[in-house]
């Protein structure tokens, strides 16, 4: 009989994946280390390594689900000597592989609880800074480390400030002093309370800022559009738009529902329509990838992000949230 997530969630039958996976974690790390002997690893290479390392016959858990389980649920599997030593060797050999999956791989390193591995990780970052080899991938890795550590690393923050001033300013205004208190400065504390528990919203916004700083406006727009959809759900919930007992994120996947919600805002319907057209032509959201062929896309994306920000402010004022 196949063991599946259906049994986990609906039949209450609990399976311990480590009973099935045994040595899959060390296999994964060994495969990463071996691949690095031949140079850098591509995203496709990395995903294939996950598939090969965590594929278990007659089990309906996908390799990605099994990998996630170890990263997020069973941190202790990364705390044995062989795993720690292998992670340490990989870090010292080529830290850039972490940029393929910065969140999960950074958490993996922290899960070791090993001073040796964590210090090696930080030393590699600072060595790249001192050698003037720091790039946007290093920034991504550093940001994920800081998020996991609650931004408690002054020296690393100083490096971020040097290479990415806007991102550092975001930390100062929205993380160090909290997103909530910064919005209080512009009398939007009620709006803050509406989205206060939702860290995913903050994550989408900081990733938008990060991609914008790198000049990746296609990626920046993708993050901001998701942020806009999520914030809209929070505003709707806070203003009692429907009978939902929590923000209804799925409701605002649809263009028609957005138009209905923002119909009282002048120009709102046109902004919503254009934003959805851009999202559906964004290669990160839709296979048509039409946006790639648009030579004026950067300017359009910036303008529609500005327009969507205006919609958020306008609807919050109308609903009495600011």
Cα–Cα distance, 209 to 205 (Å, whole number): 6
Domain boundaries, the chain: 1-152, 164-322
d(CA 8, CA 14): 6
* CA–CA distances in Å: residue 74 to residues 79, 163, 184: 10, 35, 39
pLDDT at position 241 is: 86
Tokens of 188: 């939007």
- Rounded CA gap, 124 and 65, in Å? 29
- Rounded Cα distance, 207 and 57, in Å: 37
Q: Under 8 Å CB-to-CB from 148, ≥6 apart: which residues?
A: 106, 107, 110
pLDDT of residue 202: 84
Give the residue ranges of the chain where pLDDT is below 50.
1-6, 9-10, 182-188, 286
pTM, entire model: 0.54
Q: What is the pLDDT of residue 183?
A: 44
Task: List pLDDT tens digits, range 169-205.
Answer: 888 877 776 555 544 444 445 556 666 667 888 888 8
Alpha helix segments (H runs only) across the chain: 5-6, 17-21, 24-36, 43-54, 63-73, 81-93, 102-111, 115-130, 136-148, 154-163, 165-170, 179-184, 189-195, 199-214, 217-238, 255-261, 268-280, 297-318
pLDDT tens for each residue of 69-83: 899 988 899 999 999
Which pLDDT score is estimated for 125? 95
């Amino acid at each position: 009989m196949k063991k599946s997530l259906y049994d986990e969630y609906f039949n209450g039958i609990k399976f311990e994946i480590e009973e099935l996976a045994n040595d899959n974690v060390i296999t994964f790390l060994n495969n990463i280390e071996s691949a690095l002997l031949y140079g850098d690893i591509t995203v496709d290479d990395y995903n294939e390594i996950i598939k090969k390392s965590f594929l278990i016959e007659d089990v309906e858990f996908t390799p990605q689900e099994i990998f996630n389980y170890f990263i997020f649920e069973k941190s202790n599997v990364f705390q044995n000597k062989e795993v720690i030593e292998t992670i340490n060797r990989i870090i010292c050999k080529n830290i850039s592989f972490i940029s393929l999956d910065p969140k999960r791989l950074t958490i993996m390193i922290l899960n070791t609880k090993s001073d040796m591995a964590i210090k090696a990780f930080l030393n590699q970052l600072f060595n790249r800074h001192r050698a003037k080899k720091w790039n946007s991938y290093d920034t991504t890795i550093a940001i994920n480390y800081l998020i996991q550590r609650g931004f408690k690393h002054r020296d690393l923050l100083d490096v971020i400030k040097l290479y990415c001033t806007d991102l550092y300013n975001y930390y100062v205004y929205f993380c160090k002093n909290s997103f909530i208190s910064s919005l209080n400065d512009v009398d939007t504390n009620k709006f803050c309370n509406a989205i206060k528990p939702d860290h995913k919203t903050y994550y989408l916004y900081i990733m938008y800022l990060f991609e914008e700083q790198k000049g990746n406006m296609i990626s920046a727009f993708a993050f901001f559009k998701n942020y806009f959809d999520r914030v809209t759900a929070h505003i709707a919930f806070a203003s009692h738009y429907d009978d939902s007992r929590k923000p209804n994120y799925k409701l605002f996947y649809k263009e028609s529902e957005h138009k209905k919600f923002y119909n009282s805002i002048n120009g709102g319907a046109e902004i919503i329509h254009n934003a959805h057209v851009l999202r559906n032509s964004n290669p990160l959201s839709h296979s048509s990838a039409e946006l790639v062929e648009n030579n004026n896309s950067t300017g359009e994306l910036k303008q529609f992000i500005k327009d969507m920000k205006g919609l958020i402010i306008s609807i919050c004022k109308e609903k009495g949230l600011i």
